[in-house]
Amino acid sequence: MPHFFPSQIISFFILTVAIAISYKYLTESTSTNSEPSMSIAKSLKTAMTSLSHAKIVPRPSSARGHADHGWLNTYHTFSFASYYDPEFQSFGALRVLNEDRVAPGTGFPTHPHRDAEIFSYILSGELTHRDSMQRKGSEGTNKDTFYRMKRGDVQFTTGGKGIAHSEGNEHSNDWVHFLQIWVTPWRRGLEPRYHTSTFNEAEKRKAFVSVISPLRGGPNATADEEKAAEPVIAGTIPIHADLLFSAGIIPKGEAFQYRIGGADAVQNKTDRKTYIHLPMTKGGKAKIRLDGREGAVLQEGDGAFVSKVNAGDVLSIESVGEDEAEVLVLDSN
């Protein structure tokens, strides 16, 4: 297991107590690359502004919760651990979106999860998962008990009736940068389960790639449907929620289109809650604009709440910075 220093153990203890409060809350709330001329840019902006009925509210990174524990540098989009803001508790089924950096040789010791759908999206470095029974030196090939995640990997956990695992940076030199996301499931008491998949980087540079979609069996899935773990969208990770998670890497000067609700992939078709997040991966050089709106330009670390949209609506996301933009979309009921 990773080596933990006394100061880290103390900070982790404080963090664990605060996270327990978050758990309590959770369980109680069931193109082109060339620069266009000014006239062309204005025409493009007008053409791309197609969701006049949508409400788009940016969430600046500077307004997020932030804590630097030395071994862990973390930003919280929603209330979590010691950060609390009654205005930012959740958005649709989305409950937690943390952007974490963990120092080499440190990490989160074995800790429990319950009644939450949790996934880690790796941006850089390595994050090693071990379940509560797996110890360093006894690694196997079963991704459910041990997996060393790298960029492009996504690991998903159904906390359900209760599960315990550790997540550590066992690399000797490099920090790991990843997103940890929690979603409120459509029912409690599910059987705990892990899923781990890798998603192609080249495909993300062509269009948004679907990463997570609802379990095909829905809220009333049978035991056989749970065991089959078939998602609505083939090739994705199944989640116990009416939620889609997609990722794209938009080249500089280009735009991707995101279709709300996917291709008939969700149950609730109206008033979707879609959250856009732009991770801090390019040293401040990435920037995006939503729906062609000047008031919806996001810098790295920023996000945006998109509401009053329905399945089938198309949201345009432009890369308007100095570098490509890695964009994540969480689309829920």
pLDDT of 239 reads 98
Q: Please list the residues that pair with 307 across neighbouring strands.
A: 55
Q: What integer pLDDT is reported at residue 49 of this predicted model?
A: 53
Strands 237-239 and 209-214: parallel
Same domain, 1 and 109: yes
Locate all alpha helices (DSSP H) within the chain, ordered by sequence.
Answer: 6-28, 38-48, 201-204, 223-228
**C-alpha R_g of the chain:** 20
SS3 of 172-238: the string is CCCCEEEEEEEECCCCCCCCCEEEEEECCHHHHCCCCEEEEEEECCCCCCCHHHHHHCCECCCCCEE
| In a shared domain, residues 214 and 237 | yes
CA nearest neighbour of 116 among 55, 47, 30: 30
Do 19 and 152 reside in the same domain of the chain? yes
In a shared domain, residues 175 and 123: yes
Model pLDDT, residue 8: 53
Q: Is the pLDDT of residue 7 over 90?
A: no
For residues 89 and 153, membership in a common domain is answered with yes
Q: Is the pLDDT of residue 333 over 60?
A: yes
Domain extent, residue 252, equals 37-64+201-333
- For the cut 70, the answer to whether the pLDDT of residue 204 exceeds it is yes
CATH number for the domain that contains residue 227? 2.60.120.10
The larger pLDDT score, comparing residue 92 to residue 141, is at 92
**Same domain? 25 vs 50:** no
Residues 241 and 297 in one domain: yes
Q: What is the mean pLDDT of the chain?
A: 88
Contacts of 142 (CB under 8 A, 6+ apart): none
For the cut 50, the answer to whether the pLDDT of residue 29 exceeds it is no
Which residues in 251-283 are b (16+ Cβ under 10 Å) and which e? bbbbbbebbbbbeebbeeeeebbbbbbbbbbbe
* Statement to judge: residues 119 and 234 lie in one domain: no
Model confidence pLDDT, tens digit, residues 137-168: 666 777 777 889 999 999 999 999 999 999 99
pLDDT the model gives residue 132 = 72
H or E element: which one contains 73? strand 72-76
> How much is the pTM?
0.85
Query: What's the whole-number mean pLDDT along residues 26-32?
Result: 44
For residue 29, count other CB atoms closer than 10 A to its CB.
10
Q: Are 222 and 139 in contact (CB under 8 A)?
A: no
Of 143-157, 173-187, 226-240, give the lowest mean pLDDT range. 143-157
Give residue-wise pLDDT tens across range 71-82: 999 999 999 999
Share of the chain above pLDDT 90, in %: 79
Does residue 206 share a domain with residue 257?
yes
Q: How far apart are CA 221 and CA 199, in angstroms?
A: 26
- Most distant pair of Cα atoms in the chain: their distance: 63
Confidence of residue 38 (pLDDT cuts 50, 70, 90): very low
- For residues 163 and 190, the answer to whether their CB atoms sit within 8 Å is no
> What's the total number of domains in the chain?
2
**Residue range 269-298: mean pLDDT, rounded:** 98
